[in-house]
Amino acid sequence: MAIIDILQSDYARFPFEQTFSIYSEHVFFKDPLSQFRGRGRYQSMIGFIKTFFLNCKMDLHAIRQEGNTIYTEWTLSWNTPLPWKPRISIPGRSELTLNSDGLIDSHIDYWNCSKLDVLKQHFAGLPGLVR
């Protein structure tokens, strides 16, 4: 199965049953909140999302490969486990770089919104909230 097909399947069932074998052992990951290296740490991050985020969904809007780089555009959404369970949505994109073995060696996520915008979503719609 081609890596593009695997990624499409992984996005469709995110964060469950991810194919971690397509990532190199020392994969570099970066997003607006964190940065680290290692497939084990990547698996732990996905495990955290699976445990903490409610009704998590990753909508894949586009995916393409140019040489050894794969570009994706997506929207990640979930309900935060606060009493009012706000629905959070982050539109973004990823750049995945493949190594010579065809494994993902770098996964960098970019958000199309600010961290403050994401924080504000947690409090939108609360009665009596001063804006």
Torsion angle of C-alpha atoms 57, 63, 66, 70, degrees rounded to 10: 10
Per-residue pLDDT of the chain (131 residues; tens, 9 = 90+): 799 999 999 999 999 999 999 999 999 999 999 999 999 999 999 999 999 999 999 999 999 999 999 999 999 999 999 889 999 999 999 999 999 999 999 999 999 999 999 999 999 877 666 55
Euclidean distance between CA atoms 68 and 73, whole angstroms: 17
Which CATH number characterizes residue 110's domain? 3.10.450.50
Neighbours of 49 (CB within 10 A): 17
Place of tokens 């290296």: 37
The total domain count for the chain is: 1
Could you list the residue range(s) of the whole structural domain that residue 61 is in? 3-10+26-121
Euclidean distance between CA atoms 76 and 55, whole angstroms: 11
Report yes or no on 100 lying in a domain: yes
Q: What is the reported pLDDT for 131?
A: 52
- Chain CA centroid to CA 38, Å: 16
Q: What is the reported pLDDT for 1?
A: 78
**Which structure tokens are listed for 44?**
């732990």
Report yes or no on 39 lying in a domain: yes
pLDDT digits (tens, 9 = 90+) for 50-88: 999 999 999 999 999 999 999 999 999 999 998 899 999
Q: What is the reported pLDDT for 127?
A: 67
Q: What is the reported pLDDT for 62?
A: 98
